């Protein structure tokens, strides 16, 4: 079993069945360049503690550079017999430097502290890409809000017409959870920026290597405080998977609305041809596949999180091989978001809104009934009575098959003496929206103020 990282105490090499089960190179090869970076840092720590001479260290770094170049160009790949990326790269290093020098690098480290460090490096890098892509979705939302400062749409609760709102207010309402997701990624990266390197298999090393040197070389803030925790904890991975799932869910809720808005019955939006798909049989179809895939992939992201949590649940300290199962789900979450987010941003940026239709539907379904009640309150009517009067007016309209704006002065007076013709001033959607001018309300001035706050928060994250 040449090139294996263990074997001296075994009479035979691993059975083919074990090797097939155990092998992880088909996914952990994604960590190969991080492994090399870890090796450079570890070689520095070995040299500064006197375990490598200056010449040896120089040769070591040159050998590692050569491996990195071959990995990048795709000429160095894991061999059939390699168990994992760490073993494969040690064999390759020995191939370049010979067994004497190549065999020195493993001193004072274990695959357990290595893998725990590399997965953090990988996630920190990809968290930056995901944050950048998420910011593009937020930018697209903000641009649409800016392009439609006055458009009014039906606001809904229970999916029923409730009160008119600005389209910009609604779009920004999807922006806020995404801004908080950005902030979650930022907060998470502070916790993730810890290096388990130096923890060895579980208990630390006898060699007196400098773990802060390794951490700094790898761009991580500090070494892990506890070698058992450093090698065995995966809460940082699970937390990342949670944030990824939540991003998926936040996109999915918006996706669901786009799918509904895109139906003939709603007709609120038209999707750009470049961001919609056709049907293989129905020539007329134009489907919202990006929104549907975003919604569908949210399920996958949730699955990755729950699978990982299930893996972690019963594990005793310290390292257990079960922990090898942390990588595929979280790699999948990364890859999923890295394809969903750019497509989603493009879909939002190119959406066309039928603002006339939205505005025409906004007052329907008696969505100004609350405005009538609040107008009555301003005339000194207790809200309890105002609610009754406005409700009676709605019933009357329903019986006559008319909207609130169609009622005559006689009908108003017939419902209540309090309903003078002046009530008409609140029976327009523009008046309704403008009057909701408390902090966080849908009045255009508040929505504008809110948008600048949203942009500030997004850029700060």
Pick the catalytic residue from 12, 26, 158, 280.
158
Least distance (Å) between residue 234 CB and ligand ARG = 10
Is 279 among the residues known to form the active site? yes
Note the residue count of the chain: 461
In the shown chain, the binding pattern of residues 3 to 32 toward ligand ARG, with x for contact by CB under 6 A and - for none, equals: ---------------------x---x----
Least distance (Å) between residue 20 CB and ligand ARG = 14
Q: H-helix or E-strand containing 399?
A: helix 383-400
Cβ neighbours for 125, distance < 8 A, ≥ 6 positions apart? none
Long-range contacts of 48-55 (CB under 8 A, 24+ apart): 48/210, 48/213, 49/207, 49/208, 49/209, 49/210, 51/104, 51/107, 51/108, 51/207, 52/104
Applying CB under 6 A, among 36, 214, 238, 323 the residue interacting with ligand ARG is 323
232 near ligand ARG, rule: CB under 6 A:
no
Applying CB under 6 A, among 319, 344, 366, 375 the residue interacting with ligand ARG is 319
Least distance (Å) between residue 324 CB and ligand ARG = 4
Under rule CB under 6 A, how many of the chain's residues touch ligand ARG? 10
- Are the beta carbons of 48 and 208 closer than 8 angstroms? no
Return the range that interacts with ligand ARG (CB under 6 A); candidates 227-235, 320-328, 357-365, 414-422. 320-328
Applying CB under 6 A, among 216, 324, 370, 435 the residue interacting with ligand ARG is 324
Pick the catalytic residue from 279, 405, 408, 452.
279
Among residues 84 and 371, whose Cβ is nearest to ligand ARG?
84
Among residues 17 and 417, whose Cβ is nearest to ligand ARG?
17
- Are the beta carbons of 250 and 176 closer than 8 angstroms? no
Sole residue written with tokens 């103020």: 449
Least distance (Å) between residue 54 CB and ligand ARG = 31
Is 193 among the residues known to form the active site? no
CA 296 to CA 300: how far, in whole Å? 7
Among residues 110 and 336, whose Cβ is nearest to ligand ARG?
110
CA 10 vs CA 1, 16, 20, 107: distances in Å: 10, 15, 18, 21
Binding residues for ligand ARG restricted to 28-57, rule: CB under 6 A = 28
Rounded to 5 degrees, φ, ψ at 314 are -100, 15
Least distance (Å) between residue 117 CB and ligand ARG = 11
- Are the beta carbons of 36 and 89 closer than 8 angstroms? yes
Binding residues for ligand ARG restricted to 60-99, rule: CB under 6 A = 84
Least distance (Å) between residue 13 CB and ligand ARG = 15
Task: Residue 213: name the closest of 32, 35, 48 by CA.
Answer: 48
Binding residues for ligand ARG restricted to 92-131, rule: CB under 6 A = 111-112, 115
Could you give the dihedral angle defined by the CA atoms of residues 46, 50, 52 and 53, in that order, rounded to the nearest 10 degrees?
150
As annotated, the active-site residues are: 158, 279
Tell me which residues touch ligand ARG (CB under 6 A). Answer: 24, 28, 84, 111-112, 115, 319, 321, 323-324
């Amino acid at each position: 079993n040449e090139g294996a990282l263990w074997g001296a105490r075994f009479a035979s090499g691993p059975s083919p069945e074990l090797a097939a089960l155990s092998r992880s190179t088909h996914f952990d090869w994604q960590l190969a360049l991080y492994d090399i970076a870890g090796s450079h840092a570890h070689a520095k720590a070995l040299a500064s503690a006197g375990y490598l001479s200056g010449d040896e260290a120089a040769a070591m770094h040159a050998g590692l550079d050569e491996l990195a170049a071959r990995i990048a160009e795709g000429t160095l790949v894991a061999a059939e017999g390699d168990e994992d990326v760490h073993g494969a790269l040690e064999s390759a290093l020995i191939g370049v430097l010979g067994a004497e020098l190549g065999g020195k690098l493993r001193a004072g480290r274990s695959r357990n502290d290595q893998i725990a460090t590399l997965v953090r490096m990988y996630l920190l890098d990809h968290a930056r890409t995901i944050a950048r892509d998420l910011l593009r979705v937020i930018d697209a939302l903000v641009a649409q809000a800016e392009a439609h400062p006055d458009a009014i749409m039906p606001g809904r609760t229970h999916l029923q017409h409730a009160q008119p709102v600005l389209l910009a207010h609604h779009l920004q309402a999807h922006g806020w959870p995404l801004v908080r997701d950005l902030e979650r990624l930022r907060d998470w990266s502070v916790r993730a920026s810890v290096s388990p390197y130096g923890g060895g298999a579980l208990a630390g090393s006898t060699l007196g290597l400098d773990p802060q040197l390794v951490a700094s070389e790898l761009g991580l803030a500090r070494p892990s405080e506890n070698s058992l925790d450093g090698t065995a904890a995966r809460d940082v991975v699970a937390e990342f998977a949670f944030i990824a799932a939540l991003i998926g869910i936040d996109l999915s809720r918006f996706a669901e609305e786009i799918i509904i808005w895109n139906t003939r019955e709603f007709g609120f939006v038209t999707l750009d041809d470049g961001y919609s798909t056709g049907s293989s049989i129905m020539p007329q179809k134009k489907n919202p596949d990006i929104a549907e895939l975003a919604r569908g992939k949210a399920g996958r992201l949730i699955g990755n999180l729950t699978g990982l949590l299930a893996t972690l649940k019963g594990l005793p300290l310290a390292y257990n091989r079960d922990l090898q199962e942390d990588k595929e789900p979280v790699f999948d979450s990364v890859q999923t978001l890295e394809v969903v987010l750019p497509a989603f941003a493009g879909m939002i940026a190119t959406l066309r809104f039928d603002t006339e239709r939205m505005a025409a539907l906004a007052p329907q379904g008696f969505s100004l009934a609350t405005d009538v009640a609040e107008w009555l309150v301003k005339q000194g009517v207790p809200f309890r009575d105002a609610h009754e009067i406005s409700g009676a007016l709605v019933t009357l309209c329903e019986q006559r098959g008319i909207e609130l704006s169609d009622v005559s002065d006689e009908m108003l007076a017939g419902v209540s003496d309090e309903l003078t013709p002046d009530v008409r001033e609140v029976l327009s959607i523009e008046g309704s929206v403008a009057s909701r001018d408390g902090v966080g309300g849908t009045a255009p001035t508040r929505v504008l103020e809110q948008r600048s706050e949203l942009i500030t928060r997004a850029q700060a994250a």
